[in-house]
Structure 1
């Protein structure tokens, strides 16, 4: 008997690499807390600022006050304005302390 020689043709289908689309990451949008500007809210923020300064018993920067009072820097500035107007604060260089 004769053996048949079978040959397999390589039918490789080359996968054509599709160009990847460049993905542009958008920066995460910062949530901007809207600060309510009215006498009641500013009075509460002034209380938060006063308590933070009283607890620290030393001069603090605006950032440090905001962190200690757990409020935003904008809210801290509102409270500081109230307290400065009442004469309860003293500013030395870039730090603020109770009068």
Structure 2
């Protein structure tokens, strides 16, 4: 009878671990989803611009994303928008600064 309890506890632990992994994967997938439309990208461009204006120095994509509290993908979309408008300059060290 003791063997059944041990097996059951082990199975329950494995099930909880599997469920936790699925939950994490689902959250990460939801986080990576970016609505690609002009309105959303325009808002992300505004977030990027405000972050660069507040920093008053060149920042990397990762630094902008962290400071603006948006994903790297959203940051890149915003950067593309701002580059197209001529509001940004790239630096030799892969950073971006306001033009």
How does the TM-score come out when normalised to structure 1? 0.74
Question: Which ranges in structure 1 are unaligned for 5 or more consecutive residues?
Answer: 1-14
In structure 1, the residue matched to 2:3 is 17
CA distance in 1, matches of 2:26, 2:63: 21
Residues 59-98 of structure 1: pairs in structure 2 closer than 5 A: 59-92=58-91, 93-98=93-98
Deviation, structure 1 residue 16: 4.9
Question: Which ranges in structure 2 are unaligned for 5 or more consecutive residues?
Answer: none
How does the TM-score come out when normalised to structure 2? 0.74
CA distance in 2, matches of 1:77, 1:61: 11
State the Cα RMSD in Å: 1.8
Moved segments of 4+, more than 4 Å: none
Of Structure 1 and Structure 2, the greater helix share is in 2
Deviation, structure 1 residue 71: 1.1
